[in-house]
Amino acid sequence: MTASISSFAKDQTIRLADVRKSYGDYDVLKGIDATVARGEVVVICGPSGSGKSTLIRTVNRLEEINSGSIFFEGQDVHAQMSGRELNRLRSRIGFVFQSFNLFPHLSAVDNVAMSPIRVKGVAPAEAHEKALKLLDRVGLREKANSYPGQLSGGQQQRVAIARALAMEPPVMLFDEPTSALDPEMVGEVLNVMKSLAAEGMTMMCVTHEMGFARDVADRIWFIDAGQIIETATPEEFFKNPRHPRAQRFLADLRH
């Protein structure tokens, strides 16, 4: 543990070292090496089935890995640790799902306030007050008492972002947060993500929203068949993608 803290620079929030994972014979991640610096916004893109979801889910250990290591603020995420330690670690990594996964039996404000109360032991009144502020921040103060079933997809995803933020994580992971949305709702979710980035949140986003990548990303990781085959700034990536696969991917997206 001590080695892991000292051997990596402090400003590396996330560091992946030779991360490999397979399902049976099938290698999904074939040696991922990458870092995310504090305050950096990384957009991960690549063809369907290339391992993007798997990759991002290994960062908070929703998926186990076969070898390699992942460090979050110097802590080895996949090391042997107690359930408690892992829960504490996970609570510090915000995660937003493609399918929102709001808790349908709880109102919007309870969705946001529940985990601070139950996981962190925050007093209910305080947690609710904070939840209302977070809902306000994603533009849904007036929907506080609505249930997920009564909200549109875009509204649900914004509540899901507020729910993740309620744990005050230093980093947020997004797995295709707008892919399940009707086109007219994509913008409202991206705007929330943009404002987060503007406030300096460290973010890893799997997304095919190239407009978002161009405007907000500091770096783009292009992943194909379980490997990061290109990392570049958005300007480089869009103007001049080096790898033929990336060129084809961008060409396909434009059509």
Ligand X SMILES: Nc1ncnc2c1ncn2[C@@H]1O[C@H](COP(=O)(O)OP(=O)(O)OP(=O)(O)O)[C@@H](O)[C@H]1O
**Least Cβ distance, residue 173 to other proteins (angstroms):** 9
Residues 6+ apart with CB under 8 A from 137: 162, 165, 192, 195
- The DSSP secondary-structure symbol of 150 reads G
Closer residue to ligand X (CB): 52 or 143: 52
- The DSSP secondary-structure symbol of 132 reads H
- The DSSP secondary-structure symbol of 21 reads E
**8 Å CB contact between 193 and 15:** no
Nearest residue to 41 via CA among 203, 172, 183: 203
Strands 171-175, 227-232: parallel, antiparallel or unpaired by DSSP?
unpaired
Closer residue to ligand X (CB): 52 or 163: 52
- Contacting residues toward Mg ion, per CB under 5 A: 53
Instruction: Name the one range near other proteins by CB under 8 A: 147-155, 205-213, 229-237, 244-252.
Output: 147-155
Nearest residue to 94 via CA among 127, 117, 116, 110: 116
Instruction: Name the one range near other proteins by CB under 8 A: 35-43, 112-120, 179-187, 228-236.
Output: 112-120
Q: Which of 1, 5, 18, 23 binds ligand X (CB under 6 A)?
A: 23
* Number of residues this chain uses to bind ligand X (CB under 6 A): 9
Per DSSP (E only), the strands in the chain are 12-23, 26-37, 41-45, 67-72, 75-76, 93-96, 171-175, 202-206, 219-224, 227-232
Using CB under 8 A as the binding rule, whether residue 130 contacts other proteins is answered as: no
Closer residue to other proteins (CB): 51 or 241: 51
Closer residue to ligand X (CB): 29 or 109: 29
Residues 6+ apart with CB under 8 A from 9: none
54 binds, among ligand X, Mg ion, other proteins, none (CB under 5 to 8 A by kind): ligand X
Using CB under 8 A as the binding rule, whether residue 93 contacts other proteins is answered as: yes
Using CB under 6 A as the binding rule, whether residue 177 contacts ligand X is answered as: no
Span 24-53, contacts to ligand X by CB under 6 A = 28, 48-53
Span 45-84, contacts to other proteins by CB under 8 A = 60, 62, 83-84
Q: How far apart (Å, rounded) are the C-alpha atoms in residues 175 and 111?
A: 19
83 binds, among other proteins, Mg ion, ligand X, none (CB under 5 to 8 A by kind): other proteins
Closer residue to ligand X (CB): 28 or 131: 28
Using CB under 6 A as the binding rule, whether residue 54 contacts ligand X is answered as: yes
Q: How far apart (Å, rounded) are the C-alpha atoms in residues 80 and 214?
A: 39
Count CA within 13 A, CB hemisphere, residue 171: 26
The residues that touch other proteins, with contacts defined as CB under 8 A, are 60, 62, 83-84, 87-88, 90-93, 95, 97, 99, 101-107, 109-110, 113-115, 117-120, 124, 128, 145-147, 149-150, 163-164, 167
The residues that touch ligand X, with contacts defined as CB under 6 A, are 23, 28, 48-54
